[in-house]
Structure 1
Amino acid sequence: MKLPEDIYELVLARLAGEKDVVGEEKLRDWLGESERNREAYREFCALWYSCKWGNMREGVNRQEGWEYVLRCRRRNKHRSIWVRLAVAVVVVFMIGFVGLDWSEDKNVSAWGNTDIKLILSSGEEVNLKTVGKGKIQDEGMLILSDSAYLDYSEQTENVVGYNELIVPKCGEYRLRLPDGSVVVLNAESRLRFPLNFSGEKREVFLNGEACFEVAKDSLRPFIVHTTKTDVRVLGTLFNVSAYPEEGQTEITLVNGAVQVDAGELQEKLRPDQQLILDNQTLRARVRNVDARTYIAWTDGLFRFDAMSLEQLMLRLSRWFDISYEFKDEALKNVRFTGGFRKYDNINHIIKMIGEITNVSFNIVDNKVIIDKK
């Protein structure tokens, strides 16, 4: 739907935070006229927030992107909202992904003031937040540590044993494995891995979500075990989401190739394909996706493509350690497409979702109450 020029200007003013009592009253009257008007408004807001949140990412030409939006506003007022803003969305989101950024300075764990735990082969538990930058010793091996990462790649001894990294809600952690593979572990996840990859396979065990950039080794496949699947690769970039409470496992391939084994199922994926496995029936389907959407969380941005509000709230509850309640069960199936920064305040995110859906959110004592507007 094409927004009337005067309404278009009022919507832009509202989203930009401009105060106009008369304009707000006129906009409310227009929204009250029909569901068609309200749907057009929500569509416009979705595009606006996609631009705004994407524009905050590093590596984006912010000035150029927003100058484009302003030029559209001045010159193309009579064109549809998709034509006006679609290119701006592309400007801020279409950023090439070249690999997991291995940098001490990102300090990604600072987003949540959480206690990341490392379980050593002896069973000793180490709080990585208190260790800070330094070295941890296990079975004669020195592990390099910082507030945001662990590095096992500098080993000199053929040590034997397993470590387990545990990331709670509101957390995230980077890890370089003994073979040089890089893993980013998401909130409420745990990864068990050996101090040394010996033998014919490189095996790790995941509960939760992680993004893997696997070092190439044509002689030793890399295998990620979850409760329902085994993901086998030689060297590639992919994401595994295997939270038991979500009811399904998702494997998304960015580049390279992977083979997924689940019971009698064997499926090979190509880049920009995703396998979705029902954890109960073990039935799977493969679909084509923009794989970068599913690893954007490793770059500080969460993106969603037609995600149900129920699944979105479940993920928000991990990232921000909140609880939630649906007053109307039908709202669980509302679909949401958009994105926001991981480190944003939960109140800002809830406000954004409320702007583009016909849903109200009320936060009471760290609990989000979700109902119809």
Structure 2
Amino acid sequence: MEKEELHKKLDNFLEGNNEESMDGELFSLLVRMDECRKKACPPNKERMWKHVRNALKLSRRRELMRKWAVAAAIVMPLAVGLCFYNYRSDEVAPVPENMGKRHQVSLTLNDGRVLQVQQWNNDSVIQESGTGILVSVGQQMIYHAEKVQLKEEIFNTLSVPRSTEYQVQLSDGTRVWLNSESELRYPVDFVSTERKVFLRGEAYFQVAKDTTKPFRVVVNDMMVEALGTGFNINAYQDDNCLRTTLVEGKVRVSYSDTRQECILVPGEQAVLKEGVLTSGQVNVDDIIAWKKGRFVFSDMPLETIANQLERWYDVEIRFDDTVAKYYRFTGVMKRYNELEQVLGLIEETTNVRFKVEGRQVRVFRNL
């Protein structure tokens, strides 16, 4: 890798702008820096410089060292952060007092340990069965399999609570965006003849191409097989149906109970409801708007809107008048607006009013 390119990747990573898969060289650099966390002592800056020089394979000539001082300045804060990570990596660090477990993204390891990944103050690297797991604080988790061939697949489970989103890059390079109140179970490294993961809730998948190992997502009794593609799966239980929306590429959706299946092309959605699998055209941008930080409600019943707001704002919405559930609303709003702002916009164009009482929201008809 060219030095300028690595410098750019490091910069993008620390800024949270990295859109491409992390390559082996960059990950190796981060793992090397994490070696210092095994020492119960303050960071040694001279040792940090040594790791930077070795990882970037720089010349020892002073003029080149001066040229790369900027790259080292970017790496150093990350390395120091890794050193302060609890050297006893087999224990779960305490949750900060100002951050309860209610909205914590959690990682359940194969041995049953549960790590609250958003509690860490610095980027951290942990190891599990020969696979490095880089946890980027508040942003994403990245898996990178080292040269250790596992005999069988070892699974992790990533759980995203209400009011939260999270990203994970699997060991094959596949990127997954998990919506609130969702869960993904996956191998730390894909050693089988297929790449199979299990989803509950909603997620967007950008699948890395591998013609030798098909990528399959299992949701209850439905299976979605990707052929190097981007697609969204919505499988929330309160919707009473499973929706698979194809953004790019091609997917095969199958339902084992009735042996139904369909192949989607971009812009199509497969819906499994009450044992019947159907497909049709949809507005893809509306479906994946959550991934871009927006609510898009297109002539949608208030009951369906309420389900989304409950998951995102972690509230309970109660309809005092059943008829109000069937009122419909159209609008586009930012997901990071305050709940009161969203409810106010709905009140302006729909014949309802809301009353917020703590974490409970009551819905009334305007009579």
TM over 0.5, yes or no? yes
| Contact kept? 1:121, 1:139, Cα under 8 Å | no
Give me the whole-angstrom Cα distance separating, in 2, the residues matched to 1:362 and 1:210: 31
1:271 to 248, 262, 266: 266
Letter in 1 for 2:136: D
| Contact kept? 2:175, 2:206, Cα under 8 Å | yes
Give me the whole-angstrom Cα distance separating, in 2, the residues matched to 1:298 and 1:139: 31
For 1:94-243, what aligned pairs fall within 5 Å after superposition? 105=15, 114-131=103-120, 132-147=122-137, 148-153=139-144, 155-159=146-150, 160-243=153-236
Secondary structure of the corresponding residue to residue 153 of structure 1:
strand
Q: Provide, for residues 97-116 of structure 1, a one-character-per-residue CA deviation record: whole Å limited to 9, x for no partner.
A: xxxxx966459xx9x98211
Q: Provide, for residues 191-221 of structure 1, a one-character-per-residue CA deviation record: whole Å limited to 9, x for no partner.
A: 0000111222110000100000001112211
What residue is the counterpart of 2:55 in the other structure? none
Q: Cα distance 1:161–1:353, how it changes in 2: closer, same or farther (>3 A)?
A: same
| Contact kept? 2:109, 2:156, Cα under 8 Å | yes
Letter in 2 for 1:274: Q
What residue is the counterpart of 2:319 in the other structure? 326
Give me the whole-angstrom Cα distance separating, in 2, the residues matched to 1:181 and 1:164: 16
CA RMSD, 1 decimal: 2.0
What residue is the counterpart of 1:69 in the other structure? none
Q: Provide, for residues 257-294 of structure 1, a one-character-per-residue CA deviation record: whole Å limited to 9, x for no partner.
A: 1111112210111111111211xx21132221111211
Give me the whole-angstrom Cα distance separating, in 2, the residues matched to 1:155 and 1:368: 49
Which of structures 1 and 2 has the larger relative contact order (alpha carbons within 8 angstroms, sep 6+)? 1
Give me the whole-angstrom Cα distance separating, in 2, the residues matched to 1:330 and 1:251: 30
Higher mean C-alpha deviation, range 225-234 or range 153-162: 153-162
Letter in 1 for 2:147: T
| Contact kept? 1:220, 1:234, Cα under 8 Å | no
Q: Please report how far the alpha carbon of residue 241 of structure 1 lies from its aligned counterpart in structure 2 after TM superposition.
A: 0.6
> Does structure 1 residue 363 correspond to structure 2 residue 356?
yes
Structure 2 unmatched ranges of 5 or more:
1-11, 18-98
Secondary structure of the corresponding residue to residue 288 of structure 2:
helix
Secondary structure of the corresponding residue to residue 152 of structure 1:
strand
Give me the whole-angstrom Cα distance separating, in 2, the residues matched to 1:103 and 1:182: 15
Give me the whole-angstrom Cα distance separating, in 1, the residues matched to 2:288 and 2:15: 20
| Contact kept? 1:212, 1:238, Cα under 8 Å | yes
For 1:271-310, what aligned pairs fall within 5 Å after superposition? 271-278=266-273, 281-310=274-303
Give me the whole-angstrom Cα distance separating, in 1, the residues matched to 2:149 and 2:321: 57
Give me the whole-angstrom Cα distance separating, in 1, the residues matched to 2:318 and 2:125: 43
| Contact kept? 1:113, 1:170, Cα under 8 Å | no
Q: Cα distance 1:364–1:106, how it changes in 2: closer, same or farther (>3 A)?
A: farther
Letter in 2 for 1:130: Q
Give me the whole-angstrom Cα distance separating, in 2, the residues matched to 1:123 and 1:367: 34
| Contact kept? 1:304, 1:336, Cα under 8 Å | yes
Q: Please report how far the alpha carbon of residue 176 of structure 1 lies from its aligned counterpart in structure 2 after TM superposition.
A: 0.3
How many residues are aligned here?
267
Query: Identity of aligned pairs, percent?
Result: 34
| Contact kept? 2:202, 2:233, Cα under 8 Å | yes
Give me the whole-angstrom Cα distance separating, in 2, the residues matched to 1:104 and 1:300: 21
Give me the whole-angstrom Cα distance separating, in 2, the residues matched to 1:103 and 1:256: 27
| Contact kept? 2:354, 2:363, Cα under 8 Å | yes
Give me the whole-angstrom Cα distance separating, in 1, the residues matched to 2:102 and 2:308: 18
Secondary structure of the corresponding residue to residue 289 of structure 2:
helix
Q: Please report how far the alpha carbon of residue 245 of structure 1 lies from its aligned counterpart in structure 2 after TM superposition.
A: 2.5
Q: Cα distance 1:105–1:370, how it changes in 2: closer, same or farther (>3 A)?
A: farther
| Contact kept? 2:130, 2:147, Cα under 8 Å | no
Q: Displaced runs of 4+ in structure 1, greater than 3 A? A: 102-107, 153-156
What residue is the counterpart of 1:260 in the other structure? 253
Q: Cα distance 1:156–1:104, how it changes in 2: closer, same or farther (>3 A)?
A: farther
Give me the whole-angstrom Cα distance separating, in 1, the residues matched to 2:144 and 2:301: 40
Q: Please report how far the alpha carbon of residue 173 of structure 1 lies from its aligned counterpart in structure 2 after TM superposition.
A: 0.5
Q: Cα distance 1:103–1:361, how it changes in 2: closer, same or farther (>3 A)?
A: farther
Q: Cα distance 1:153–1:302, how it changes in 2: closer, same or farther (>3 A)?
A: farther
Q: Cα distance 1:189–1:134, how it changes in 2: closer, same or farther (>3 A)?
A: same
